[in-house]
Amino acid sequence: MSGAEVPAAVKAFIDATNRADDDAFVDAFTDDAHLYDYGREFHGHDGVRDWNGTDNIGVQAHFELVDATAGGEEDTYVVTLKVTSHRYNGTGPMTFRLRDGRIADLRIG
């Protein structure tokens, strides 16, 4: 890892995905979270749960941490994950903005 300790909320995001724990996954996000995935947007816990069902645990995603660095703003991290699933396989960055120990914003793509 290059320069940033992986925050607990990001660890929870990864661990919940790898355990296929839907509730723990959603709980890693703030109530008013925003998730952007290559032009598609999801809002709040309901939106995160929907995305999780179609693009994450619902397609048996598994994450392997490759790298994490501090982002350009406070409480922002760029985390590179290797993803394997029934829908998407590849390695790429995800940008997390945290608030109060949870993920307030996640940007993919």
pLDDT tens track for 68-106: 999 999 999 999 999 999 999 999 999 999 999 999 999
pLDDT of residue 44: 98
pLDDT of residue 60: 98
State how far the Cα of 55 lies from the Cα of 42, in Å rounded to an integer.
Answer: 12
pLDDT of residue 1: 40
CB-side exposure of 44: number of CA atoms within 13 Å? Answer: 1
Fold of 8-108: Nuclear Transport Factor 2; Chain: A, (3.10.450)
pLDDT of residue 3: 52
